[in-house]
Structure 1
Amino acid sequence: MGLVGILLGLALLMWLAYRGWSVLIVAPVAALLAAAISGEPLLAHWTQTFMPAAGRFVTQWFPMFLLGGLFGKLMDDSGSITSIARFLTERLGTRRTILSVVLASAAVTYGGVSVFVAFFVLVPMAKEMFQAANIPRRLMPATIGLGAFTFTMSAMPGTPSVNNAIPMPYFGTTTFAAPGLGIIASIIIFIIGMWWLRRAEAAARRAGEGYDRNSEVSSSINETVRMQATAAGDFDPAEFQHGKHSASLPLFAIAALPLVVVICTNFLMSLVVLPRLDFSFLAKEVWGDTTIGAVAGVWSVLIALGAATLTVVIFNYRRFPALRESLDAGAASSVMPILMIGSLVGFGAVVAALPAFADVRDALLAIGGGPLISLTISVNALAALTGTASGGMAIVLNILGDTFLRLAAEHGIDPALMHRVTTIGAGTLDALPHNGTVLLLLQISGLTHRESYFDMVMTVIVTCIIALAAVLVLGTVFGSF
Structure 2
Amino acid sequence: MIGLIGIILSLALLIFFAYRGVNVIILAPLMALLATAFAGGLPLLATYTQVFMPALGNYLITYFPLFLLGALFGKLMDDSGAARTIAYTIVDKLGDTRSILAIVLACGILTYGGVSLFVVAFAVFPIAAALFREAGVPKRLIPAAIALGSFTFTMTALPGTPQIQNAIPSPYFGTDAFAAPGLGIIAAIIMFGGGVAWLMRRARVLTAAGEGYLPEPRPGNGGLLKRFTGKGKGKGDGDAGTATAAVPAAGTTTTATEEPVDDGGAAALPRPSVLVAFAPIVLVIAINYVLVTWVFPAMDTAYLAEDAYGNTDVETVGGIWAIAVALVVSCLVVVATNLARFRDVKKTVNQGTVGSFLPIMNTASEVGYGAVIASLPAFRIVRDSVLSISSNPVISLAVAVNVLAGITGSASGGMSISLQTLGEQFRTLAEDQGIGLELMHRVTTLAAGGLDALPHNGAVVTLLAICGLTHRQSYKDIFVVAVVIPVVALVGVITLGSIFGSF
* TM-score band, normalised by shorter chain: over 0.9
Show the 5 A alignment for 1:247-396: 247-396=269-418
Q: Is the 8 A contact 1:173 1:416 kept in 2?
A: yes
Distance 1:167 1:242 in 2: 37
After TM superposition, the structure 1 stretch with the greater mean CA deviation from structure 2, 145-154 or 363-372, is 363-372
Corresponding position of 1:85: 87
Q: Deviations over 1:38-92 (max 9, x none)?
A: 1111000000000000000001111111111110000000000001000110111
Corresponding position of 1:170: 172
- Structure 1 383/215 Cα, relative in aligned 2: closer, same or farther at 3 Å? farther
Distance 1:365 1:456 in 2: 31
- Tell me the secondary structure at the aligned position of residue 336 of structure 2: helix
1:64 equivalenced with 2:72 (yes/no)? no
Distance 2:341 2:110 in 1: 19
1:38 equivalenced with 2:39 (yes/no)? yes
Distance 2:489 2:387 in 1: 23
Distance 1:418 1:52 in 2: 26
Distance 2:66 2:141 in 1: 33
Per-residue deviation, 1:286: 0.3
Q: Is the 8 A contact 1:141 1:445 kept in 2?
A: yes
1:3 equivalenced with 2:4 (yes/no)? yes
Distance 1:210 1:18 in 2: 31
Corresponding position of 1:436: 458
The residue type equivalent to 1:85 in the other structure is: A
The residue type equivalent to 1:264 in the other structure is: A
Per-residue deviation, 1:215: 5.4
Distance 2:35 2:403 in 1: 18
Distance 2:79 2:56 in 1: 32
1:404 equivalenced with 2:406 (yes/no)? no
Per-residue deviation, 1:31: 0.6
- Tell me the secondary structure at the aligned position of residue 390 of structure 2: coil
The residue type equivalent to 1:184 in the other structure is: I
1:22 equivalenced with 2:23 (yes/no)? yes
After TM superposition, the structure 1 stretch with the greater mean CA deviation from structure 2, 1-10 or 47-56, is 1-10
Corresponding position of 1:424: 446
Per-residue deviation, 1:379: 0.6
Distance 2:406 2:374 in 1: 19
Per-residue deviation, 1:369: 4.2
Q: Is the 8 A contact 1:283 1:289 kept in 2?
A: yes
Q: Is the 8 A contact 2:173 2:438 kept in 1?
A: yes
Per-residue deviation, 1:205: 2.3
Distance 2:147 2:378 in 1: 39
The residue type equivalent to 1:200 in the other structure is: R
- Tell me the secondary structure at the aligned position of residue 456 of structure 2: coil
The structure that has the greater radius of gyration is 2
Corresponding position of 1:150: 152
Per-residue deviation, 1:95: 1.0
- Tell me the secondary structure at the aligned position of residue 393 of structure 1: helix
Q: Percent identity?
A: 50
Distance 2:426 2:229 in 1: 49
| One of 449, 453, 461 as aligned partner of 2:471 | 449
| Structure-2-length-normalised TM-score | 0.90
- Tell me the secondary structure at the aligned position of residue 302 of structure 1: helix
Corresponding position of 1:464: 486
Distance 1:290 1:322 in 2: 41
Distance 1:281 1:316 in 2: 39
The residue type equivalent to 1:7 in the other structure is: I
| Structure 2: gaps spanning 5 or more residues | 216-227, 231-238, 243-260
1:245 equivalenced with 2:266 (yes/no)? yes
- Tell me the secondary structure at the aligned position of residue 266 of structure 2: coil
Distance 2:5 2:214 in 1: 49
Distance 1:32 1:173 in 2: 34
Q: Deviations over 1:235-264 (max 9, x none)?
A: xxxxx9987625220011101110011010
Distance 1:378 1:410 in 2: 20
Aligned pair count?
A: 462
Q: Deviations over 1:143-174 (max 9, x none)?
A: 11111110000000000001111111111110
Q: Is the 8 A contact 1:164 1:175 kept in 2?
A: yes
Per-residue deviation, 1:368: 2.0
1:199 equivalenced with 2:201 (yes/no)? yes
Q: Deviations over 1:118-152 (max 9, x none)?
A: 00011110000001101110111111111111000
| Structure-1-length-normalised TM-score | 0.94
Q: Is the 8 A contact 1:38 1:354 kept in 2?
A: yes
Q: Is the 8 A contact 2:140 2:473 kept in 1?
A: yes
Q: Deviations over 1:9-50 (max 9, x none)?
A: 212211111111011111110011111111111000000000
Corresponding position of 2:183: 181
Q: Deviations over 1:359-403 (max 9, x none)?
A: 211111111241111111101111001100000001110111111
Distance 1:209 1:13 in 2: 38
Corresponding position of 1:141: 143
The residue type equivalent to 2:208 in the other structure is: R
The residue type equivalent to 1:357 in the other structure is: F
Distance 2:59 2:275 in 1: 37
- Tell me the secondary structure at the aligned position of residue 379 of structure 1: helix
| One of 105, 108, 111 as aligned partner of 1:106 | 108
Distance 1:241 1:339 in 2: 29
- Structure 1 50/219 Cα, relative in aligned 2: closer, same or farther at 3 Å? farther
Corresponding position of 2:117: 115
| CA RMSD in angstroms, aligned pairs only | 1.5
Distance 1:451 1:12 in 2: 26
1:160 equivalenced with 2:182 (yes/no)? no
Distance 1:188 1:428 in 2: 13
Q: Is the 8 A contact 2:74 2:116 kept in 1?
A: yes
